[in-house]
């Protein structure tokens, strides 16, 4: 377990690398968190990343934010990991901790794909970094290609 005090600077470092486009360094930080941490640390990383995106989301006009556009994609066409990311951010934006925990648990316990949590966390980080860079995703970002 890494714990909140040590996790905070790692999340800041990870997001700095992502926003700068340095995916190699971002992956190294993420590997460090996943390797040394437990599910509580990974959840903490998700919450901290979502918290960083909240000011951007809250500054957008109602009904025009990227999450609203992302969440209108029919479920059968949506990438489940990107959908997790949009739903997790939407829960964070609403302050709905129970929904965020339920989404995280569902990804962590997915039997169909053992790597589902990792892919979902990566999708969340990609969405957060896009928001922080000022590039707003749209509904096609959730569709499978």
pLDDT confidence of residue 114: 63
Q: What is the pLDDT of residues 56-98, one digit of tens each?
A: 888 877 666 556 656 655 666 678 888 899 899 989 988 999 9
Q: What is the pLDDT of residues 130-144, one digit of tens each?
A: 888 886 554 444 443
* Residue 4 binned pLDDT confidence (cut-offs 50, 70, 90): confident
**Can you give the pTM of this predicted structure?**
0.83
pLDDT confidence of residue 145: 34
- The stretches of 1-145 forming alpha helices (DSSP H) are 4-20, 23-36, 39-59, 66-70, 80-94, 97-108, 116-133
């Amino acid at each position: 377990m890494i714990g909140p005090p040590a996790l905070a600077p790692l999340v800041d470092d990870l997001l700095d690398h992502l926003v700068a486009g340095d995916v190699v360094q971002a992956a190294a930080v993420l590997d460090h968190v996943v390797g040394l941490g437990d599910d509580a640390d990974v959840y903490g990383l998700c919450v901290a990343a979502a918290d960083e995106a909240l000011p951007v989301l809250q500054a957008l006009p109602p009904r025009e934010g990227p999450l609203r556009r992302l969440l209108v994609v029919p479920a059968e066409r949506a990438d489940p990991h990107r959908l997790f990311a949009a739903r997790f951010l939407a829960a964070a934006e609403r302050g709905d901790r129970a929904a965020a925990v339920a989404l995280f648990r569902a990804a962590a316990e997915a039997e169909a794909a053992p790597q589902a949590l990792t892919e979902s966390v990566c999708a969340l980080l990609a969405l957060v970094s896009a928001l922080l860079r000022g590039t707003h995703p749209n509904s096609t970002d959730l569709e499978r290609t």
